[in-house]
Amino acid sequence: MADPRFIPVADHALLVEFATEISDAANAAVRALDRALAADPPKGLREVVPAFVNLLVDFDPDLTDHSTVEAAVRGRLSIPATKAPAATTRVVEVCYDPDLARDLAAVAAATGLEDEAVIKAHLAGDYRVFMYGFAPGYAYLAGVPPAIRVPRKPAPLRGITAGSVLIAGPQCLVTTLTMPTGWSIIGRSPTQILCDDPARPFLFDVGDRVSFKRIDRATFERAQKVGQP
């Protein structure tokens, strides 16, 4: 992988970009740098925000500047990365009934597959949590199989129910709130991702693997009732 690019952002941040396309190698580099900065934060560091292929280093401009932070980051990059924590596999249940999967038929049509083949492909994906963003608990997963990768819709739809399972390109996520989306809705999950625990607010950690498990409507509805307050 090529050396990262360093891009100044306003007067208080530096974007470290490892690639321009999503890949396991780029995300591993992002997470390694995140761990290195957490273990040995440079002077003035306020926050580090990892994403798919880049990492934003936010700093106090009264204490440091872009060139000093860049030098500190380069120094961390020259040190062998610490071993990543062992990934945990999280199971997410999903029901693919037509009324819960409003875009399943459209994805099938766009990919030339039958609905059932789209479902099987989705279940066979190798998913990993690459980042959180956009809304609380929105864990962006990479690993959608190429056979069912479809682009975002031209315009988002409002009022999409929490628990909706979405795909767009190589990415997948499960919504946690009623929100708009331009991604394709292929199912709905009763699995609780927002946790009532300040020490662990979300089901997933970045780096975790996710396995989708198909359930029928009766199982979905029972799980929904259990999860209701």
In this predicted structure, what is the pLDDT of residue 1? 62
**For residues 148 and 114, what is the distance between their CA atoms, to the nearest angstrom?**
11
In this predicted structure, what is the pLDDT of residue 79? 82
Q: Which CATH superfamily is domain 89-227 in?
A: Cyclophilin-like (2.40.100.10)
CATH 3.30.1360.40 intervals, the chain: 5-77
**For residues 12 and 25, what is the distance between their CA atoms, to the nearest angstrom?**
27
In this predicted structure, what is the pLDDT of residue 193? 92
In this predicted structure, what is the pLDDT of residue 78? 84
Cross-strand partners of 226: none
Architecture in CATH of 5-77: 2-Layer Sandwich (3.30)
Beta strands in the chain (DSSP E): 5-9, 13-17, 45-50, 54-59, 89-94, 127-132, 139-142, 157-160, 164-168, 171-174, 179-181, 184-188, 209-214
In this predicted structure, what is the pLDDT of residue 197? 80
In this predicted structure, what is the pLDDT of residue 74? 94
Q: What are phi and psi of 30, to 5 degrees?
A: -60, -50
CATH 2.40.100.10 intervals, the chain: 89-227
Q: pLDDT below 70 — which residues of the chain?
A: 1, 81-82, 84, 227-229
